[in-house]
Amino acid sequence: MEAELIRRAQTGDQRAFDTLASGLVTRFHAIAYRVLQDPDLAQDAAQQALISIWRDLPQLRDPSRFEGWSYRLLIRACYKEAGKQRRWRLRSSDRTDIEPITADLTNSVVERDRLWRSFARLSVEHRVVVVLHHYLGQTQGQVAEALDIPVETVRSRLRHAMRDLRAAIDADERPVPVGSTSPEVTR
Amino acid sequence: MNPNRTTETIVEAWLSDGFTAQPDAEQMLDNVRVAVADAPQRRYRWWPFPTKSGPTPARGSTMFSAVKFVVAGAIVALFGGFLLSGVLTHPSDESVPAASTSASPKVELPLEIPDDIPSGQLDTPLGPARWVHLSGDAETLPDILRPVPVPGGYVSLDDGHHSSTCPSGQSPCIYPAELWFSPDLIEWTRRPLPVDIEVAHLTNTGGEYWLNVNDEEENEDGSLDPPALWRSTDALEWNAVDLSGMEPPPPAVVEWSAHLPPDAVVVVEDAILVQMGYGAQVGKSLLGLPPEPEGEWARLERTDGGSYRVLGPYDDEHGRVRFEETSGGLRVIDDETDAELTVVEGISMDFIDRWAASGEPPFEYRLALLRDGRVDSVELPEARPEGHSFTLVETDDGFIALQPGSEGLIQTWTSPDGETWAVDEVLGDDPGEPVATHGVWNGPDGLVAWSFDDDTQVAEIWESSDGIDWQHHIQPPGDLVARLGSGWIGLDGAGLTIYPGGPEGPEVVDLQDLRMKLESAGEGGHGMAPIGANAIAHGVAEDGYGQRRDHWIITFDDLLE
């Protein structure tokens, strides 16, 4: 069914594309949200990726390869939005949007908060490989192909991203002094 | 850390559940609809493609290994396959020795197929073909079927993968590597591997089967087990190859992690040539800065003033240093205080510049020769440390090593014995020579150089059976997955397609009678692999979890007659 929709959309059938996009929009937002950690930027990235898919769809030679191809366009859109995010962060570097975490909250909440902050501090390139590998379940080879980078680079990025996330988890599992706050990080 | 929770499981659970904002999907779609209404689609001229030069010489049966085509096919997977469109001759002085050719055994389905297994016959442009459709689950069939002929039948290595979701809902799923065996391509059973492994690669070279294994699960101390290589004459009994003598690149003061690439081994007689990738484990402590408790990693960024910013994984700056060369190494100086941080013996500015240029700690591939129980490092003349792996080729006259570099140029070296190497010419810098922006692969009977132009989105390959004459191909509709005899077997959204023709105008013939349910491939996707020299396997994973498994095997009976 999807292949037929793709073929029709390739010929300029906007109704077919609309059906196709309807099936993608939520998934695209979920991926972009995890990479960018901002639902509004994720919305922009997902929309831009869908528009790029429409524009470039006639160039897709093999509809069965649509999924990987569409992820590539989505990641490009995420990179673009991440650039805006970085500029925004620089302008608002004195902001602290995250509520302080205190020791009376549950461990899992603290852990999620630490993970969020730690993940946010990774470069977008590192976040992308973590999301593709650990959220979408792609192999390191698939990630390398999707991003057009050597698999060793994927491996390197994954290793040090996971190392830093593990550090955040370890910090969480150490006793938290009453009244202490987590490090201030803007997002 | 709680030993029952790995970082991976925690992160994957968080990625699954920790993002709660819901999108306004309808609003997003409305925005897209408005944009699409005014956005023209980009259309290029796809067909016919220009041909570059003369007729195609007759060729024998040529086959590239399943692994190679899976890798290579995926690289150009977005935009389809290839079509014979011309011949290019590498203007060599024939200093490159001719590659050896070894006939692959003919693959045959049993004469009697059980009634409960769908099967049939086809007339194709490549002659009569027989097919079977195998359906099963994780207990009866491999997820990925890439049969390799072995004594007494076939083996297929499913090289393992992770998934964030499982049919039962738990997370994550880990599907370890599995080796399967079949005496007849119909009935498949698991065959033991020499070790429990998560990711592995199987190759067949020098009349033996080689299994290379890279550890991907960190030990509790964050370390990884070293890569392992196993060899077998029957893919049943495996013997470990001692790689402990392989030496990492200089400088010795740096710690290097090792990684075996998929095509790590070639063999000529009793000489085994192995390549290993090495990544420098360098960070702040090497520069005299406080070490990271969780392990070393840092990148260097050269500033306009000649100093270097030391950056962590968050692009957070840990200091600025500059270097002064000493008689035996480098003095590292804090750029702000002018204080000496450390003196590192045995390291040069070349290494520092590589570190800064690559944006990550240096990574390079090295070769070693294993013979008579010895391990000797191989030094290729004029080789530059590159992040690209070598393509190693065994020939009747020794070895060829090829390494793609910048802009698709391919540096080549030759050796009669694996010990003495001569630098050969650079391919791709003259008209008619292959370029390889996406790598070079060595199949059982030839070389494939791949190139993909992101601007024009045209994929091209060059194919050579001897390293001297190169044939140029450019993509037709569909997706090339196998070369069978004089034809190509392609895969596109409609099913299997055979491209039997040559540069005079290839005839494209759909196998109308054998649709492959590609529309229902769904999340699980599909793949294809050649078997021997006259058959293909095509698999579809319909449920996305790899539980239900469907494979078609097609043998072309006349190809080897």
Contact B457 A58 (CB under 8 A): no
Do A111 and A67 belong together in one domain? no
Question: Which stretch, A68-72, B155-159, B346-350, has highest mean pLDDT?
Answer: B346-350
Question: How does strand B487-492 pair with strand B495-499?
Answer: antiparallel
The pLDDT of residue B94 is above 60: no
B221 touching A (Cβ < 8 Å): no
Contact A152 B518 (CB under 8 A): no
Binning pLDDT at 50, 70 and 90, where does residue B177 land?
confident
Task: Kindly state the average pLDDT of the residues A134-159.
Answer: 80
Q: What is the pLDDT of residues B51-93, one digit of tens each?
A: 222 222 222 222 222 222 222 222 222 222 222 222 222 222 3
Out of A40, A74, A91, a domain closes at A91
The CATH number linked to A38 is 1.10.1740.10
Contact B25 A26 (CB under 8 A): yes
Contact B360 A34 (CB under 8 A): no
Q: Which of A61, A89, A123 to mutate to test the interface with B (most CBs of B within 10 A)?
A: A61
The pLDDT of residue A30 is above 80: yes
Give the whole-angstrom CA distance, residue B276 versus residue B263: 10
Task: Kindly state the average pLDDT of the residues B457-468.
Answer: 70
- pLDDT at residue B70, rounded to an integer: 27
Contact B521 A64 (CB under 8 A): yes
The pLDDT of residue B260 is above 70: yes
Q: What are phi and psi of B385, to 5 degrees?
A: -60, 115
Which are the contacts of B506, defined by CB distance < 8 A and separation ≥ 6?
B83, B84, B476, B499, B500
User: Which carries the bigger pLDDT value, residue B494 or residue B322?
Assistant: B322
Contact A134 B164 (CB under 8 A): yes
Give the whole-angstrom CA distance, residue B547 versus residue B82: 32
Do A184 and A114 belong together in one domain? yes
Do A60 and A131 belong together in one domain? no
Binning pLDDT at 50, 70 and 90, where does residue B346 land?
very high
Is residue A47 helix, strand or coil? Answer: helix
Question: Which stretch, B87-96, B346-355, B470-479, has highest mean pLDDT?
Answer: B346-355
Out of A64, A91, A118, a domain closes at A91
B77 touching A (Cβ < 8 Å): yes
Enter the CATH code of domain B66-281+361-556.
Answer: 2.120.10
A59 touching B (Cβ < 8 Å): yes
Task: Kindly state the average pLDDT of the residues B463-484.
Answer: 66
Do A101 and A22 belong together in one domain? no
Task: Kindly state the average pLDDT of the residues B286-302.
Answer: 79
Q: Do B455 and B116 meet the contact criterion of CB atoms below 8 Å apart?
A: no
Distance from CA of B275 to the nearest CA of A (A): 14
- pLDDT at residue A157, rounded to an integer: 84
The pLDDT of residue B444 is above 60: no
The pLDDT of residue B519 is above 60: no
Q: What is the DSSP letter of A19?
A: H
Ranking A2-6, A48-52, B479-483 by mean pLDDT, the lowest is B479-483
A87 touching B (Cβ < 8 Å): no
Q: Do B547 and B86 meet the contact criterion of CB atoms below 8 Å apart?
A: no
Do A100 and A87 belong together in one domain? no
In the β-sheet with B299-302, what is the strand arrangement from edge to edge?
B299-302, B308-311, B317-325, B329-334, B340-345
Is residue B95 helix, strand or coil? Answer: coil
User: Which carries the bigger pLDDT value, residue B52 or residue A13?
Assistant: A13
Task: Kindly state the average pLDDT of the residues B358-363.
Answer: 79
Do A103 and A186 belong together in one domain? yes
Number of Cβ within 10 Å of residue B2's Cβ equals 9
Give the whole-angstrom CA distance, residue B452 versus residue B435: 10
Task: Report the chain B residue with the minimal C-alpha distance to residue A21.
Answer: B29
User: Which carries the bigger pLDDT value, residue A121 or residue B300?
Assistant: B300
Binning pLDDT at 50, 70 and 90, where does residue B17 land?
confident
User: Which carries the bigger pLDDT value, residue A125 or residue A131?
Assistant: A131
Binning pLDDT at 50, 70 and 90, where does residue A179 land?
very low
Task: Report the chain A residue with the minimal C-alpha distance to residue B26.
Answer: A22
- pLDDT at residue B55, rounded to an integer: 22
Nearest CB partner across the interface for A55, out of B16, B39, B361 = B39
Task: Kindly state the average pLDDT of the residues A88-113.
Answer: 41
Distance from CA of B313 to the nearest CA of A (A): 6
DSSP states along B491-522: EETTEEEEE---TT----EE-TT----GGG-G
User: Which carries the bigger pLDDT value, residue A153 or residue B184?
Assistant: B184
Nearest partner of A2 among B480, B524, B39, judged by Cα? B524
B38 touching A (Cβ < 8 Å): no
Residue with tokens 């190809």: B559
Percentage of residues in chain B having pLDDT higher than 70? 66
Do A137 and A166 belong together in one domain? yes
A90 touching B (Cβ < 8 Å): no
Burial B55-78 (b: 16+ CB within 10 A, else e): eeeebebbbbbbbbbbbbbbbbbb
Contact A156 B222 (CB under 8 A): no
Chain A residues whose CB is inside 8 A of the B71 CB are 141
Task: Kindly state the average pLDDT of the residues A139-162.
Answer: 79
Question: What Rg do the C-alpha atoms of chain A give, in angstroms?
Answer: 19
- pLDDT at residue B343, rounded to an integer: 95
Question: How does strand B173-175 pair with strand B329-334?
Answer: unpaired
Residue range(s) defining the domain that contains residue A155: 95-187
Do A79 and A107 belong together in one domain? no
The pLDDT of residue A89 is above 50: no
A25 touching B (Cβ < 8 Å): yes
- pLDDT at residue B315, rounded to an integer: 65
Do A127 and A113 belong together in one domain? yes
A26 touching B (Cβ < 8 Å): yes
Binning pLDDT at 50, 70 and 90, where does residue B98 land?
very low
Do A75 and A101 belong together in one domain? no
The pLDDT of residue A62 is above 80: no
Question: Which stretch, B108-112, B311-315, B529-533, has highest mean pLDDT?
Answer: B108-112
ipTM above 0.85, yes or no: no
Contact A121 B316 (CB under 8 A): yes
The CATH number linked to A146 is 1.10.10.10
Token reading at A42:
């994720």
Q: Do B428 and B91 meet the contact criterion of CB atoms below 8 Å apart?
A: no
Give the whole-angstrom CA distance, residue B380 versus residue B390: 11
Exposed, middle or buried by CB within 10 Å (0-12, 13-18, 19+), for B525?
middle
Do A111 and A161 belong together in one domain? yes
Q: What is the pLDDT of residues B38-49, one digit of tens each?
A: 776 755 322 222
Is residue B551 helix, strand or coil? Answer: strand
Exposed, middle or buried by CB within 10 Å (0-12, 13-18, 19+), for A154?
buried
Nearest CB partner across the interface for A26, out of B23, B222, B522 = B23
- pLDDT at residue A138, rounded to an integer: 85
The mean pLDDT of chain A is: 73
Distance from CA of A179 to the nearest CA of B (A): 23
Cis peptide before B48 (omega within 30 of 0): yes
Q: What is the pLDDT of residues B392-420, one digit of tens each?
A: 888 778 888 888 877 778 888 999 999 99
Give the domain ranges of chain B: 66-281+361-556, 284-358
Contact B518 A42 (CB under 8 A): no
Contact A121 B259 (CB under 8 A): no
- pLDDT at residue A91, rounded to an integer: 27
The pLDDT of residue A154 is above 90: no
- pLDDT at residue B352, rounded to an integer: 92
Percentage of residues in chain B having pLDDT higher than 90? 22
Out of A72, A91, A110, a domain closes at A91
Give the whole-angstrom CA distance, residue B11 versus residue A119: 10
Chain A residues whose CB is inside 8 A of the B361 CB are 156
Ranking B156-170, B175-189, B460-474 by mean pLDDT, the lowest is B156-170
Pairs of CB atoms within 8 A across A/B = 219
Do A120 and A86 belong together in one domain? no
- pLDDT at residue B366, rounded to an integer: 93
B406 touching A (Cβ < 8 Å): no
Chain A stretch 157-176, residues whose beta carbon is closer than 8 A to a beta carbon of chain B: 159-167, 169-170, 173
B281 touching A (Cβ < 8 Å): no
